[in-house]
Structure 1
Amino acid sequence: MKAERASLQSRIFSFGAAFVSLVAIIIGISFYFIISDAIEQQIGERALSIAVTTAERPDIIAGFQSENPPEMLQPIATSIQTMTGAEYVVIGNKDGIRYAHPIVERIGKKMVGDDNEQALLYGHSYISEATGTLGTALRGKAPVVDENGEIIGIISVGFLKEDITTIFIQYVDNIAFIVVVAILLGILGSGILARNIKKELFNLEPAEIAHLFTERNALIESVREGIIMVDAKGVITMANLAAHEILSLPLETELVGRNVWDVIPNTYLPQVLEFGEEHLDRSMEIRGKKAIVNRIPIRVGEKIVGAVSSFRAQSDIDRLAEELSQVKQYTEALRAQTHEYHNFLYTISGLIQLNSYDEALNLIHVGTAEHQSLIQFMTKRLQDPFLGGIVIGFLNRAKELKVQFILDEDSYLEKLPKHLQKHLFVSIIGNLVTNAFEAVEKLPEAIRFVRILIIDNGEEIIIEVEDSGAGVSEEVLDVVWKEKVSTKSDKNRGFGLVKVKENVNDLGGTIALEKGDLGGALFIVSIPKGGYLHGKANRDINSGR
């Protein structure tokens, strides 16, 4: 079983405390060695200074020239050793024979260490480290020169390494105390830092933050509206793919990091950043396109730290409005049917009140016969109640508009397959029939014809809608399916056929426009019963793919 990962706060605390502790220990050790080297250097220079000063003393030079040098020099060396705190002060002649030594028995013997040549041969004063009879020591050595400039002896002042180490150890306690204090402060600081970072991240763990970031990106990219976020300086911090599309920019165009004024020069986001006012459902033109824009400031407390703008093309809103208008048309068709029945009942009521019973009965028989004939036709030929109801609604609407609405007697459809979305069929038929009604509405009543055919040939569902209008001119024939192209003068028209085309594509079908036998436009829609994949395969075969 996989162990549960430690929380972000505990990890930040652990890493911070460990890092600070490691740095403090390294600094403490480095500090120790730096102090050790400094102390060692100072002691070496001190030994050299004592040696040089002693070598230059007249009584030392006079002692070398006396008949019994050890007798004169030993007291002087002992006195210097006592005053300076040196471990030893040794005086030797030019042959390295001791004239003075802390241990009297070693006077007259040769000096040990083999580090006297530089002083005795070349007259140099220097610091050396060597092991003598008293142990390893730092030595300051200086030659003794007489009045004639000749080297007559050597002075060696030494401090044992053991004593120097003792001095070092005296500083260890202080260094260790400083390191411990630094570690404790680091642990305390790590705890405060970890808590503050976790608080800034809303107590979320990295996995939760990554999950939210992924969800946020997926959500923003799934929205069909363009979204742009800017910081307090107006620099874009986020833009989704829909924003690129609405702004007519290639997807590879990098918007993040650019100033929003460079991308949308007429933007009102600066006012939102300055005054914090929300702009909802505002109209504006973006790169030649009309759009509906929302702008909302981003606040942290009372401070405005940025703003977010969402926008959508006006054409999308218009298309939705057209679809809503189509729904209203369906409602109007049903209202027309109700109105027709009301008129029929009012007529019968009036005839009865006038005692014209025979006329009333005749009207009832005729109306019933027509209705029964229509119902029987629908029951036998259009058995799908969903489409049958729409067709009946348009039949009644046609009566109101005084349009001869012909339901082709060859129509036949049992039921729409369950996998085909019925509302798409309603939208297709509704838009085509409504366009046909509008195409003949200004013609004389005698020649207002609209014909519809719905037939299932086993593999496809074919819908034909034909009118007796003027048809579609050749100059707009190639572009009639494009957005906002209409054969009508109303500038707000032109979405119906675009929507029909989209719905047909969604069903995997095809649509064709021809000149019909009635003289006007003939729209032929073919929907494969196998659904989208089947229809796509057929289109690929027909296109030679």
Structure 2
Amino acid sequence: MKPRRPTLAGELLAWQLVIVVVVLVAVGAISLAQSAATFDRVEGRRVTELAEQLAWNPLVRSQIDRPAPAEVLAPLLHATRTQSGVTSVTVADVRGRIIGSTDTTLVGTPFPAAAGEAAQARGRSGYLTVGGTRELTARVPVLGAAPENHGRLLGSVMIGVAAPTVGERLVGASSYLLGYLGVASALGVLGSWLLARRIKRQTLGMEPREIAGLAEHRQAMLHGIAEGVVALDPQLRLTLVNDVGRELLALPASCVGTSLSGLGFDGRLYDVLAGGDEARDEIVIHRGRVLVLNRMAVVKDGRPLGSVTTLRDRTELAQLERELGSFRSSTELLRAQAHEFSNQLHVISGLIQVDEYEEVVRYVRALREHRESLDLVLPSLVRDTAVAALLTAKSSLAAERRVRLRLSERTALDRLDPLDAADVATVTGNLVDNAIDAAAAGGEGEAWVEVELRQDASSVEIVVRDSGPGVAPELAREVFTRGFTTKAAQGGGRGIGLALIRLVCQRRGGEVAVANTDDGAMFTARMSIGRLAHEVMETL
């Protein structure tokens, strides 16, 4: 049969009882110390006064230097002891020999350690062993009063009172001490029992081994899940973070207990972690990672206890989304071109049906000249085939949205490395898509989008202007961290397109910025290319 383990309430009660016993012993010791101090002070003063009175007694002063004074002094010494309740009364001559005492066995013996002090005519009080009993004594010199020996040291008087035992001191400390100790014991036991019950309720009835197992399971769960977990108290201090959260936020090992501001968090990440409301699927770009944050406030009985935020790393997913977006964009471009060709075929078919053959020839010639002009201008300015093909396809998409896509005369882009061309095409395509959306929603007037590509030995600069309403000033800084498109100017947001643009530029040692012009918004993206770009990406 397995031995029964003690319960949490039982252990707490036992320890509390031990504490109560220790406190009671300490109280008793303090009471004894106070009682001893009181006895020394009160009785020391009393025996000193009695000794002084006896030393100034005329009978003592006249008989102390006479022969055989014991018989004369004995009645006085016994009367003094009886009346004052002291333990012993002793008289010694100037040589330190006892000449009279309430204990007759001491007559003729040396005065206990008093000869030197008596000879110096000084009094003394303290503990001495007299006749086998430890006493609190007071010794006073006896000085002559007769003209022939006036002021001369004649001997000493000592009066002692027996020191009380520990039991006597304990009883004398306070007549109510035992009652006090009993009441304190009862209150201590009752308080220990109530405390044990309260702790039992607060731990939901779990025993220490169960609490320890629960803590171990929690640690295993926190450090075993693939998401980051960050817990903050109401003062925005970090109280808990698992390994994934520490890695995603690049936190030091000793980060627990540090405030958010002390960890260097600011901007969008600080706003989400420290926000007062719950956050759902908030996108934050932090140290080259695309993070999705979900924050939940922790409240118990109406009292805020802090918050818990989970973090998911969507960087790889965002890359896949970007690749999927490129396929979706290609499909949309093909659909737009098919729609454009379909409209042109419908026009040609209609002209044939009404026998306008010459008009058909003129219409086809106009279409061919328009296509040839675009095919001639674009390759001369953009020599990279991937980027040129992208802009050609985007022109069809813009035309379908009634937006004119034009290429700046300052554009000059040479053939790029395939990896460089892919990133340049990604950034250009996303910026053009957002610009087309903004221009199409711009209202009255001609809707247009202008693309300018400039290249030097180590970098490419992409500038996209549109005739849209621009970006709201309060969103100009956050448009890339929140993942808004230029539709954010009207209060809407979608996806993380611009956030991905910034991520691509940062990985290539560049940056992207937005500014409002007189006509609309202007996005400028810069990124390094060639060997410099590869060196930058290897260091990240």
Distance in 2 (CA, whole Å) between partners of 1:114 and 1:241 is 80
Spell out the pairing of 1:124-273 with structure 2 (5 A cutoff).
Answer: 124-127=122-125, 129-132=127-130, 135-147=133-145, 148-161=150-163, 166=168, 169-171=171-173, 174-247=176-249, 249=250, 253-261=253-261, 262-267=263-268
CA deviation digits over 1:478-515, x for unaligned, max 9? 999xxx899998659xxxxxxxxxxxxxxxxxxxxxxx
Distance 2:275 2:151 in 1: 90
Q: CA deviation at 1:207?
A: 2.4
Instruction: Encode CA deviations 1:234-286: one digit per residue, 9 max, x unaligned.
Output: 11222233334433x2x7554323322444312466688674x2121223333
Aligned partner of residue 142 in structure 2, secondary structure: strand
RMSD of Structure 2 on Structure 1 (CA)? 4.5
1:441-475: CA deviation from partner (whole Å, max 9, x where unpaired): x9xxxxxxxxxxxxxxxxxxxxxxxxxxxxxx993
Q: Given the superposition, is the C-alpha separation of residues 270 and 22 from structure 1 closer, same or farther in structure 2, using an over 3 Å criterion?
A: farther
Asked if structure 1 preserves the Cα contact closer than 8 Å seen for 2:47 and 2:160, the reply is yes
Give the Å deviation of 1:297: 0.8
Contact 1:226 1:242 in 2 (8 A): yes
SS at structure 1 position matched to 2:310: strand
- Is the 2:98–2:111 contact (alpha carbons within 8 Å) kept by the matching residues of 1? no
Letter in 2 for 1:46: R
Q: 1:46-89: per-residue Cα shift (whole Å, max 9, x none)? A: 32332123212345324447898557644543443344222333
Alignment of 1:285-300 (within 5 A): 285-300=285-300
Residue 292 of structure 1 aligns to a residue whose secondary structure is: strand
What is the aligned partner in structure 1 of residue 87 from structure 2? 87
Matches within 5 A, 1:219-368: 219-247=221-249, 249=250, 253-261=253-261, 262-267=263-268, 275=276, 277-318=277-318
Counterpart of 1:118 in structure 2 is 116
Could you tell me which runs of 5 or more consecutive residues in structure 1 were left unpaired when the two chains were aligned: 329-438, 443-472, 493-545
| Deviation of 1:3 (Å) | 2.7
Q: Number of aligned pairs?
A: 345
Give the whole-Å Cα distance in 2 for the aligned partners of 1:282 and 1:115: 92
Change (3 A) 1:69 1:489: closer
Q: Aligned equivalents of 1:156 and 1:62: distance in 2?
A: 17
Change (3 A) 1:136 1:279: closer
Q: Distance in 1 between matches of 2:166 and 2:247?
A: 79
The alignment status of 1:476 with 2:418, answered yes or no, reads yes
Pairwise CA distance, 1:303: 1.8
SS in 2 for 1:294: strand
Partner of 1:203, secondary structure, is coil
The separation in 1 between residues aligned to 2:130 and 2:248, in whole angstroms, is: 92
- Is the alpha carbon distance of 1:53 and 1:292 closer, same or farther for their aligned partners in structure 2, counting shifts above 3 Å? same
Aligned equivalents of 1:47, 1:488: Cα separation in 2: 105
- What is the Cα deviation at residue 145 of structure 1? 1.1
Instruction: Report the Cα distance in structure 2 between the residues aligned to 1:152 and 1:52, rounded to whole angstroms.
Output: 14
Asked whether the equivalents of residues 90 and 102 of structure 2 are also in contact (C-alpha less than 8 Å), the reply is yes
Deviates more, 1:299-308 or 1:38-47: 38-47
CA contact (8 A) 2:35 2:172 kept: no
TM-score normalised per structure 2: 0.52
Which residue pairs with 1:35 in the alignment?
Answer: 35
Q: TM-score, normalised by structure 1?
A: 0.52
TM-superposed CA distance for 1:140, in Å, is 2.1
Counterpart amino acid of 1:121? A
* Counterparts in 2 of 1:273 and 1:479: CA distance versus 1, 3 Å: closer
Unaligned stretches of 5+ in structure 2? 329-389, 394-414, 434-540
Indicate the percent of aligned positions where both proteins have the same amino acid: 21
Amino acid of the residue matched to residue 6 of structure 1?
Answer: P
Identify the residue that residue 499 of structure 1 maps to in structure 2: none
Assess if the C-alpha contact under 8 Å between 2:237 and 2:257 holds in 1: yes
| 8 Å CA contact 1:127, 1:140 repeated in 2 | yes
Q: What is the aligned partner in structure 2 of residue 526 from structure 1? A: none
Residues 162, 487 of structure 1: alpha-carbon distance in 2 compared, 3 angstrom cutoff? closer
